[in-house]
Copies of this chain bind each other. A is one copy, B any other.
Amino acid sequence: MAVPESRGRLARRELLRAGLALIAAGALPARAAAQARGASSSPLPEFRKLVAANRILANEGVVDAFGHVSVRDPRNAERFWLSRSRSPALVELDDLMEFSLDGAAIDARGRTPYGERMIHAAVYAARPDVHSVVHNHSYGVLPFTITDEPLRPVVHTASVIGAVVPVWDIRTRFGGTDMLVRSIEQGRDFAATLADNTCALIRGHGAVVVGASIERAVLTAIYLQVNAGVLLQALQLGGEPEALSAEEIERSSETQFSPLALDRSWEYFCQRAGVDPG
């Protein structure tokens, strides 16, 4: 639509930011710059990738003040890592917390966890093949959570979302709630609806995207959003949009997740978000 896009691009704020950079520059090099890009002395590259994933999802508008992304501990399949309760755009290495598969924090150190960590816990428990989980409220995906129009892949870059994207409604089994997935029981009920699929929508709330790696979960969440926008526009053009066939979804997914395509897109989204591909 015609709404002017440029937002808050005020010289004053730019001045402040550049000013802060100048002030910081003195003491910047190594540490500050490293922190800013999520690098650290951590032995686990997965942690740097998890910070990058938070920044990327925020930069692409997949998450806003809310939403989160986690990774299963590569050293212990019974544990996963997730930021403390903080907006993804602001997450840093020190915000990462370890959880068991029932959603209990291992070493909170006074940090407050996300109220919906049970989504991650239940999915990791139910899906050994899943190593990363994204939960978001993408504005482009939300319309499909409150209507009967199925969100299915119509472009090959979104083949990775899978042929079926089920919708889970917390009201069905838990009645009137605050709509958050707070208990492990609710998490398990969601996981049952997710079943073996890659994405599932939550009525009036958002989406959950899973993957065999952080990169896969993040890219799938991005293209789920892209596909939703394309499908919405195609429906406005009238007629039944041509969807991908089962064979195209399977073969295209393999290609989209090949090292060639995965590395290219991960480098791209990292650069856009200003984070180190690691």
A139 touches B265 (CB 8 A): no
- Shortest beta-carbon distance, A53 to chain B, in Å? 13
Closest to A140 in B: B2
Supposing A7-B61, A15-B20 touch, asked if A2 and B178 sit within 8 A by C-beta, the answer is: no
Contacts of A3 in B (CB 8 A): 5, 61, 139-140, 226, 229
At the interface, yes or no: A106 with Cβ under 8 Å from chain B?
no
Please provide the chain A residues from 158 to 208 with a CB less than 8 Å away from any CB of chain B in the complex: 159, 169, 171, 175-180, 203-206
CA distance A215 to B37 in the complex (A): 29
Q: Report the count of interface residues on A (CB-CB < 8 A).
A: 114
- Shortest beta-carbon distance, A245 to chain B, in Å? 6
Contacts of A149 in B (CB 8 A): 237-239
CA distance A28 to B12 in the complex (A): 12
Contact string, A235-273, partner B, CB cutoff 8 A, digits 1/0? 111110111110110011011000011001101110111
Contacts of A175 in B (CB 8 A): 247
Please provide the chain A residues from 1 to 37 with a CB less than 8 Å away from any CB of chain B in the complex: 1-25, 28-29, 32-33, 36-37
**A-B contacts, 28 listed (Cβ < 8 Å):** A1-B232, A2-B225, A4-B226, A8-B9, A8-B89, A10-B272, A11-B17, A11-B20, A13-B274, A14-B18, A19-B21, A19-B24, A19-B33, A19-B36, A64-B226, A66-B264, A66-B265, A87-B271, A146-B230, A147-B238, A148-B239, A149-B239, A155-B204, A176-B245, A178-B251, A179-B251, A235-B236, A235-B237
Given contacts A16-B33, A17-B18, A155-B205, 20 further A-B contacts (CB under 8 A): A1-B229, A2-B227, A3-B139, A5-B61, A7-B58, A8-B9, A11-B17, A14-B14, A14-B17, A14-B274, A15-B36, A23-B25, A87-B267, A89-B268, A89-B271, A139-B229, A156-B205, A176-B251, A178-B248, A203-B242
Rank and list the top 5 A-B pairs by shortest CB-CB distance, nearest first: A2-B140, A2-B229, A176-B247, A18-B21, A8-B59
